[in-house]
Amino acid sequence: MIIALQRQLPKLINFRHFSYVNKNNKYFIQTIRPFSIMSSQKDHKLCMIPGPVEFHEDVLTSMSTLATSHVSPAFIPVFGESIQLLRKVFLTEKGQPFVVSGSGTLGWDMVSSNLVEPGEDALVLNTGYFGDSFSECLKVYGAKVTQVKSEIGERTTIQEVSDAISDKSYKIITITHVDTSTGVLADVKGISEVVKKQSPNTLIIVDGVCSVGCEELRFDEWGIDVVLTASQKALGVPPGLSILVASERAIEVFKNRKTPIPSYYASWAHWLPIMNAYESRKGMYFATPPVQLIYALNTSLKQITSIPLETRFEQHKKASNRIKDALDSLGLNFLPKNREAAANGMTAIYYPEGIQPADLLQKVASHNVVIAGGLHRAIATKYFRVGHMGISATEPERKHLDTVISALTDSLKELGYSGK
């Protein structure tokens, strides 16, 4: 079942039904998927939550890459190339990517421990659960945190930011691009503009866990200093990678700290030489990198960068509108106050009156689709969430959107909801 082919041949083949792996500089085409993963993808419950998302077959195949040394000539270029491909996805020329074994949460520790010194001021724009948590993390490392807290479903206004930064000189400002707990989309571009104008020394930090790979985000053009994200959302890779890009300015700030870095594992002093080494195709050791996850990341980044990012942003907007229009026509209400303030990779929806949370999630699951409950502490039992990132948005032939819309429509009907 394995056919060795010449190096140039794989390009000619429709990879949807094949995986390829590079072994000893020969490509092997494996026809395993049509019989295994592809068919079993049909059987499993479709995972339409705001991360982990559904994974491409080739990404899953990479996850079971055979044992490979983390400093071997086989792995080094895979890691090195992944670091370079991340720049393309983040739209940056000189930003410094970090790929670290950990969950997205670890990105907060990296920001808080490398860029803020004890007693320095941080401004957190809070549009949900993740703003609360980022604040808590910053405080652990000694930051003095001020929050601009929006009502549930509202985004921070430019005026609110302008007012806040005219009060005080902040070392950093943090923006949750999409708060996964509310589905609210921040105006990162507008906020960056006002910060650059009024407080040019403030580092602009974007929590892009639920935005990188699905929302328009222009690192260099918008002058962002850090974007942190995780593997399991729009980057389309199983969970386990904390991914972050830092601007040259942020790296300078880190290098010129006066106080010691108060973390060991999250310290860029350890990770920066590792990233530089692998990018220049040398192995180096601080902690064993998660080899299989990085193979999977490499596979996904190649897929993502094979078309213009603009197209990808559009695909996610289109998918989002499709879901939101369908739910709107059922008479459901969204957490975000308007479409402009709503994420394109996920949707947060209030349960209609009379529908019990557990009932709807279970009913939808009986239709072989998994959606998520609420997460925002204040209203956790009042709403649910649907994810539509990655291949669910970019490969309509998989019919993930149709499936989740049907499952939701049918489930609501079966529970006696008659619509508007």
In the annotated binding site for substrate, the residues are 385
Closest distance to a copy of itself from the beta carbon of 305 (Å): 22
Considering only residues 286, 315, 317, 357, which one is a binding residue for a copy of itself as defined by CB under 8 A?
286
Give the residue, chosen from 5, 21, 158, 355, that forms a contact with a copy of itself under the rule CB under 8 A. 21
389 neighbors 234 (Cβ within 8 angstroms): yes
Segment lying near a copy of itself (by CB under 8 A), choices 7-15, 21-29, 211-219, 314-322: 21-29
DSSP category for residue 219: T
Give the HSE-up count for residue 78: Cα atoms under 13 Å, Cβ half-sphere.
Answer: 25
Give the residue from 136, 135, 138, 131 showing the smallest Cα distance to 152: 131
Binds a copy of itself by CB under 8 A, chosen from 47, 158, 309, 355: 47
State the minimum distance, in angstroms, from the CB of residue 123 to a copy of itself: 18
How many CA atoms lie less than 13 Å away from 356 in the CB half-sphere?
4
Site for a copy of itself in 361-420 (CB under 8 A): 365, 370, 372, 375
φ, ψ for residue 57, nearest 5 deg: -55, -40
Give CA–CA dist 113/314, Å, rounded: 36
Shortest Cβ 347–a copy of itself spacing (Å): 16
Q: How many C-beta neighbours within 10 Å does residue 9 have?
A: 13
CB of 51 to a copy of itself, least distance (A): 7
The first and second tokens of residue 315, run together, are 């695909």
Contact between 51 and a copy of itself (CB under 8 A)?
yes
Binding track over 123-162 against a copy of itself, x by CB under 8 A:
-------------xx--xx---------------------
Size of the site for a copy of itself (CB under 8 A): 76
Cα separation of 19 and 64, whole Å?
Answer: 12
> Which of 18, 20, 54, 268 is the binder for a copy of itself (CB under 8 A)?
54
17 binds a copy of itself (CB under 8 A): no
Q: How far is the CB of 244 from a copy of itself (least distance, A)?
A: 13
- From candidates 15, 265, 313, 350, binder to a copy of itself by CB under 8 A: 265
List the one residue from 11, 12, 43, 200 that touches a copy of itself (CB under 8 A). 43
Phi-psi domain of 26 (left: phi exceeds 0; alpha: psi -120 through 50; beta: other): beta
Stretch that binds a copy of itself, among 42-50, 159-167, 303-311, 348-356 (CB under 8 A): 42-50
CA distances from 353 to 148, 152, 263, 408 (A): 31, 19, 47, 15
Q: Binding mask 81-120 vs a copy of itself (x if CB under 8 A, - otherwise)?
A: --------------------xxxxxx-xx--x--------
Does the protein bind a copy of itself through residue 40 (CB under 8 A)?
A: yes
Instruction: Look at residues 150, 188, 143 and name the one whose alpha carbon lies nearest to residue 168.
Output: 143
Residues facing 29 on adjacent strands: 3, 20
Interaction with a copy of itself in 292-321: which residues (CB under 8 A)? 292-293
Q: How far apart, in Å, are the Cα atoms of 215 and each of 40, 112, 343, 344, 402?
A: 30, 24, 8, 7, 22
Among 82, 126, 229, 232, binds a copy of itself (CB under 8 A): 232
Pattern 238-257, a copy of itself, x by CB under 8 A: xxx-----------------
Minimum CB separation of residue 209 from a copy of itself in Å reads 9
Binding residues among 167-226 for a copy of itself as defined by CB under 8 A: none
Q: How far is the CB of 132 from a copy of itself (least distance, A)?
A: 13
Distance (Å) of CA 248 to CA 78, 83, 156, 255:
24, 15, 27, 10
Please name the residues in contact with 287: beta carbons below 8 A apart, sequence gap of 6 or more.
101, 265, 270
> Annotated binding residues, as ranges?
385
- Determine contact, residues 68/75, Cβ cutoff 8 Å: yes
Give the shortest CB-388-to-a copy of itself separation in angstroms.
13
Q: Which residues of 187-207 are buried (b: 16+ CB within 10 A; e: fewer)?
A: bbeebbebbeeebeebbbbbb
Residue 284 Cα distances to 78, 86, 275, 298, angstroms: 14, 20, 9, 19
Nearer to a copy of itself, 239 or 352 (CB): 239
* Choice from 85, 203, 230, 274 touching a copy of itself (CB under 8 A): 230
